[in-house]
Structure 1
Amino acid sequence: MSSLKRLVYAVIHFLREQSQRDDYTSDEQESLEVAVQCLETVFKIGPEDTHLATPKSLEEMFSQAYLKKEELTPIESFSSLPADIEKAEQLKDEGNNFMKEQNYEAAVDCYTQAVELDPKNAVYYCNRAAAFNQLGNHSNAVRDCEKAISIDVVYSKAYGRMGKALAAMNKYKEAIGSYQKALDLDPDNESYKSNLRLAEQKLRHVASPTSAGFGFDMTSLMNNPAFVSMAASLMQDPQIQRLMSGMMSNSGGGPAAGVGGLTDLSSLIQAGQQFAQQIQQQNPELIQQLRNQVRSRSFSGTTEEHS
């Protein structure tokens, strides 16, 4: 916004000069003054805001663009004034304090104001990405990280925070790439190493055909001696044998009539529930272990410092 105000200030200055020309009629001068007043009101700019003055006049900007066939200078390319840079740093520090207090909305507001004052500082975008991650707004976090990287291509924190956002969006392959880039730039960072391993585990878990549809790894489950022993014992139970016989009869397209016959989906679900109850009664400790295994696999972020 500060860069835009500087551009508008240049327009106002130009219009005010034009309104004082003698070759304009009084009506034309009045129209220009109205235009100046409208711009000043909308953008809250007054004659006293001399700090918004740019090195080049509006005429010089346009003459460079058209007479020399050069593109207009983007607004973000204006160099921030020393006062703006100092204020932006203060806002960044305030945002960091809000992050420590877990007031992430206020942190986003501070970092946003800092970005407006100094849009070429990668730290402000990266810190705002961290706040967005905490708020669960991961898509905005990714965009801010990409902006930070476009400004500073070797900014490891931007890659690390983008990896965290991508992982939270279940984009593990992309997250691995971001974490790997962060590690290339900062090889001793334990947080990046840990998050990279977690993302790789998640990717393997998602890609594994034995884990599809389950909250735990079926391969490790079948290698669990306690589970194998319990399953073998259950298969000797006549009631379980009848349930399994009914399932096999249905799956093969054979007759489902008779004891244990399963004629519809609700019967299949009921059989599964009975089987689960039998497992629970046989070995409740193992069931609890499986539940703990599911909980331990949840992807967790790590505490990070802010610039």
Structure 2
Amino acid sequence: MSDEAKIVAASIVNFLNQQLEGNTLNSDSKESLEVGVQCVRAAFDLSSEELARGVDLLQLVRQQQGGVEASKAEAEKLKNEGNELMKSEKYREALEKYTRAIEIDPRNAVFFCNRAAAQFKLGQNEAAVADCMAALALQPNYGKAHGRLGIALTVLDRHREARAAFARAAQLEPDNESYKQNLKLAEERLAESGQAAGQMDIGGLLQNPQLLNMASEMLSDPNMQNIISGLMGATNLTNNLGNGAGGMDALIQAGQALAQHMQSANPDLVEHLRRQVRPPGPDGPPNPPPAQ
């Protein structure tokens, strides 16, 4: 048996003995620990000299916790320095501060979101999007990260994604007027680019998780399988009869049954699809101010 294994076992025995000497355990717990100490000593054949080589586990844990807190404090200091550099328009230096903070504490969403702002100021919009996504992976309901994501996506002409980001930001922070204004701007740009509600985004629909889940559930539903079989039968009948009224009526009936099933299964999703294909009305949103 290696010396390292014996040192670890000795450290555990010493820790258990420390607990036995304290006043925090009841008699049953102490009895269990005493058995545990005997078992570990016997299993590793620990002598008194070898027990003396064990380390203080409690002290190690306290030191580690202290080191973690010190590291977080250093990361927070770097973030604050980056914020000051941003105010002075020293964006590259600020980016370096945020990067160092992330290296120390990669679980802090604020650091990624702040670095995204520096990336955006430097014209590194793809990197800004990546940092916003990293922040949202850590903290999905982070309104500022959604807002900054929307701005970077707007510059990249990814207006549909920008609209979704601003919509989420406005939902999380309903009193933030800039998010509402930027949402209107994204909608206006979608309309100008021909990507508005009057034009269906087939690629987006195929990636819609709600639609995919509903399709999977529908295909496993026996009633839905009967409807699809009827629809296919009606299609074959129409092909055989040309444009005969009988074949077309059967096709229409099967299609109506499919639509009714979709409506009853997920009315919210059906309404969302309707909005995507519905042409914009005469009263469009007012012209919003530029993104901030």
- Taking structure 2 as the reference length, what is the TM-score of the superposition? 0.45
Q: Which has the higher helix share?
A: 2
- Taking structure 1 as the reference length, what is the TM-score of the superposition? 0.43
